[in-house]
Amino acid sequence: MSERAGHSGKGWPERWRAHAKAAVSSLAVRNYRLYFIGQSISVIGTFMQTLALAFLVLQLGGQGTEVGLVAAARLVPFIILGPWGGLVVDRANRRAILLVTQIVSGIGALVFATLAWTQLATVPILGILSLLLGVVNVFDNPARQSLIADLVDRQTLNNAVVLSSVSINIARLVGGVIGGALVAAVGAPLCFLINAASFAAVIVSLLMLNTSDMQPIARVERARGQIRTGLAYVATTPELLLPLIMLMVTGTLAYEFPTTLPLFATDAFGGTAATYGLMAAAEAAGGIVGGFVAARRTIAPRTSSLAISAIGWGAAILLTAVAPTLLLALVLLLFVGYGTITFNSTAKSVLQLSARPDMRGRVMSLWGMAWIGSTVVGAPLVGWIAENFGSRWGLIAGGVPTILTGALLLPYLRRQERGRRVLPDNPGDQ
């Protein structure tokens, strides 16, 4: 008995060290480590700006619908031009594209700061500026997602994708707390200035990348009909199409927290920007835990696990919506964050690993349209629901469809996976 206990005692520390090493394995790659650090710093500023923009709209007399419209304006170009942006990313140098988008985004943040500080900002002006900066997202989103596969090999890709999602949630935690405190204490302009400065971190990290160590990617030569070819490829590949359908539904109705949580904080609990900061931080903290759990995974996720995570995530959103106290809502938001990162990182891993390298830019542009670009419709819709029926209904409108989507697709995805597992055992395939 004692010998077994002693062996067990030695095994657990070693096992935990192995799990910890596996959870951050992609950071051993110098290029990815540089990219990870630069992006993490920049995203902190981005979430500070997102929070500041929402409350600036409210301070200017806007309500739920206006908050949603300004948030959605940034994504209108992505919805219209997203596939074209993905094709450009497949054709061009992704690193060079990102250098341009970061510089332009930094200038945009400076303009936001100037408008807020000089009190020249109005809701229409903020919407127009968000719309103009949305053109940057047409190229920035697919380039950022696709560049990860250029920096690491296929065996490390899943971990790199998950850690990228973890960094976003850490940034939300830090950005939510700092941004909420700054907006409450000194106002929105400083948040915009910090975001402008944060883009320097990405630019430096991109310039420091060793291009000779990057994965060789065959650039797509110009030809007619390449956008249609990409769409047809996705439409005939269930491993890509079904995750994108789930992402579209959940991205439209559930992943609208920049719109729903400020309204939830002020309407349901009579809070301020600092209250929203706490909510965003709680959600982000849950996401960090979920991210590290997912990062320990050494095999590619199955598409059925995406449906399972959708069911759990939707249930957490519903429970949060009916929470009677702020403390309970904060606790439940931990599970919301856990579900968010589990769902999104699983979807990104499935898409990145299933897509052909020459199609990856176009596939990830569709990911951006489904998950982020759907805010064009979702943010105003959920904002309108929250404004007219109460902020809790804004969350319910996301939780219910998320559960239903996962539950409806789960049986089909499992049958599909069983079919793929049977094929290698067929003697005719040996």
Which residues touch 280 (CB under 8 Å, ≥6 apart)? 47, 51, 172, 173, 175, 176, 177, 180, 257, 261
Choose between 8 and 142: higher pLDDT: 142
Q: How far is CA 41 from CA 38, 237, 298, 313, in A?
A: 5, 36, 27, 27
Structure tokens at 69: 């419209």
Which residues touch 426 (CB under 8 Å, ≥6 apart)? none
Structure confidence by residue, pLDDT tens digits, 81-140: 888 888 888 888 889 999 999 999 999 999 999 998 888 888 899 999 999 998 998 899
Express the helix, strand and coil content of the chain in percent, nearest 5 each: 85, 0, 15
**Cα angle: 388, vertex 394, 398; to 5 degrees:** 145
With bands split at pLDDT 50, 70 and 90, how would you rate the model's confidence at 7?
very low
Structure tokens at 77: 């170009």
As a whole number of angstroms, the distance between CA 264 and CA 109 comes to 26
* Residue 13 clears pLDDT 80, i.e. is over it: no
Q: Find the mean pLDDT for residues 275-292.
A: 82
As a whole number of angstroms, the distance between CA 395 and CA 385 comes to 9
User: Alpha-carbon torsion 384, 390, 395, 396, what sign?
Assistant: negative
Structure tokens at 308: 């399972």
CA-wise closest residue to 34 among 236, 205, 272, 232: 205
Q: How far is CA 413 from CA 28, 204, 241, 408, in A?
A: 34, 42, 12, 10
Q: Find the mean pLDDT for residues 403-417.
A: 88
Residue 298: the pLDDT is 60
Side chain identity, residue 95: R
Residue 430: the pLDDT is 32
Residue 415: the pLDDT is 82
Choose between 386 and 272: higher pLDDT: 386
Structure tokens at 134: 């949305």
Residue 419: the pLDDT is 67
- Choose the weakest-confidence range: 135-144, 225-234, 248-257, 351-360: 351-360
User: Alpha-carbon torsion 329, 335, 338, 339, what sign?
Assistant: negative
As a whole number of angstroms, the distance between CA 310 and CA 247 comes to 10
Q: Find the mean pLDDT for residues 283-311.
A: 80
User: Which of 250-259, 281-290, 367-376 has maximum average pLDDT?
Assistant: 250-259
Residue 63: exposure state from Cβ atoms within 10 A (0-12, 13-18, ≥19) = middle
Name all domains of the chain by residue range, CATH numbers in brackets. 28-210+230-416 (1.20.1250.20)
User: Alpha-carbon torsion 48, 54, 55, 56, what sign?
Assistant: positive
Q: Find the mean pLDDT for residues 387-410.
A: 93
CA-wise closest residue to 124 among 411, 132, 173: 132
Residue 427: the pLDDT is 37
String of DSSP letters for 346-390 = HHHHHHHHHS-GGGHHHHHHHHHIIIIITHHHHHHHHHHHHHHH-
As a whole number of angstroms, the distance between CA 220 and CA 415 comes to 35
Q: Are 233 and 347 in contact (CB under 8 A)?
A: no
As a whole number of angstroms, the distance between CA 162 and CA 124 comes to 37
Alpha helix segments (H runs only) across 209-237 = 226-235
Q: Find the mean pLDDT for residues 232-255.
A: 90
As a whole number of angstroms, the distance between CA 77 and CA 58 comes to 24
Is this prediction's pTM over 0.85?
Answer: no
CA-wise closest residue to 160 among 145, 143, 142, 141: 145
* Residue 205 clears pLDDT 90, i.e. is over it: yes
User: Which of 23-32, 174-183, 218-227 has maximum average pLDDT?
Assistant: 23-32
Alpha helix segments (H runs only) across 60-188 = 64-73, 76-91, 94-117, 123-151, 154-185
Residue 355: the pLDDT is 83
* Residue 378 clears pLDDT 50, i.e. is over it: yes
* Residue 17 clears pLDDT 80, i.e. is over it: no
**For the chain, what is the mean pLDDT?**
83
Structure confidence by residue, pLDDT tens digits, 317-359: 999 999 999 999 999 999 999 999 889 888 888 888 788 878 8
